[in-house]
Structure 1
Amino acid sequence: MLRASNDPAAQDPWRPVTTEAEVAQRAGMPLTTWQRRCAPRFRALAPELFDVEDARGLARVYDLAQAEAAQGEVEAALAEGRETAPSKIDALPGAQHPEDRLNAREAGDLLGIDADEVYALAARGYLPKGEKVRTAQGKTIGRLTVWSRRALAERMDNAPGQGVGGGRKPGPQPERRKARPYQGDPRLKTAAEAVATAPDTPTNRIAVALAETHGGSTRTWERILAAASDATPHDSPA
């Protein structure tokens, strides 16, 4: 997760980010020279904010403060002929924050779906479009789309047709309004699986567990559980 800022002067909880190309530029080295001389030690000190495996060709993204501290420690270690000291790099805040920026995989983990479904639902307008991240030097990081934890939580509590932000979009509506407010919601599958796993557990307790695991309110998960029950075919009495 990322507390990313598009404002280099921003204060917590917004944190500016940077890339290896910018780290090399500030160090006064061509990127290839920096990668050969500094990259292994730097990467051991500064954790990537996003897994580069999530998107082929994605630049490695770092917290700016951590990156600057890591580069300074690498240069000092090289000059003094010693090993780098990880203890000199401050850890990022560990607590969750509504403005955390999540990539598709992390957003999917929160919603109980996979990354491809996040992109698909965003393209259909079910989820927010997401946003691009700019570095402290104002450069947009390609192939990286993020969603705020707050925006995802709001969508989870306001499915289409339910409350603020969940109604029909303005303009012509060629399709009929959905009869079920949670129709097409990927959380229906998560709710149905939870019920199937613990069929004798009261619904309110399942809702509490789902809210703790995936976010959103207990009341929202109770509605989703009810919708999942309505959508599940029931056996006809003998």
Structure 2
Amino acid sequence: MTKLSVNINKIATLRNARGANNPDVIKVALDCERFGAEGITVHPRPDERHIRYQDAVDLAKVVTTEFNIEGYPDQRFMQLIREVKPAQATLVPDPPNAITSNTGWDTIAHQSMLKDIVAELKEIGTRVSIFINPEAKYFEPAKLTGTDRVELYTEPYASNYHQDREKAVKSYVEVAHVARELGLGLNAGHDLDLHNLAYLKQQIPFLEEVSIGHALICDALYYGLENTIQMYRRQLEI
């Protein structure tokens, strides 16, 4: 079974818009778990425009499913991981001013740096996933960093899905098999939604986890959070 990890960044965005604590990020995370989410994902950024670093600390005390913290491995991020010790740390090559993640790591150019970071994170006891583009050349270098998993950057798949879904998924299927042959666990995330998720899972049935935030929260405005989480779960069971 592929696990659904719900990214709650957008809940924090809504909270921060008014400066108080409505909606309550901690309560929403617990509700997501109660409604069927098998993980909670957050991606704190340096300006704390949505999830704050303190949110991650507070969430770690109450999340009972897999807690996944994404981010660029700068000094503050690494200190957060050392303090929180989440189930998984997902390394993303975001510059500080990025609106959202928009590419995976060049694991060839950054292999030495990533190897050191991965070793430190695994010493903490945290599973490591590296955000990666669907290009085969990056997978063996990723394996050499010591990472446990890679997360496929799926925005290009999502953007091209409605035009030609077979073509859109082709490179993802190819690199998924490369990852499997290398012994890398496989996650996926970015712009996955109720339209394109099931097909991705059908083509890559051994996906271990998908992390979904923006689309899921948008759908929840219409369908309700509990119903939406169940709808996404069903897409992974088709």
TM-score (norm 1): 0.25
Indicate the structure (1 or 2) with the bigger Cα radius of gyration. 1
Larger strand share, 1 or 2 = 2
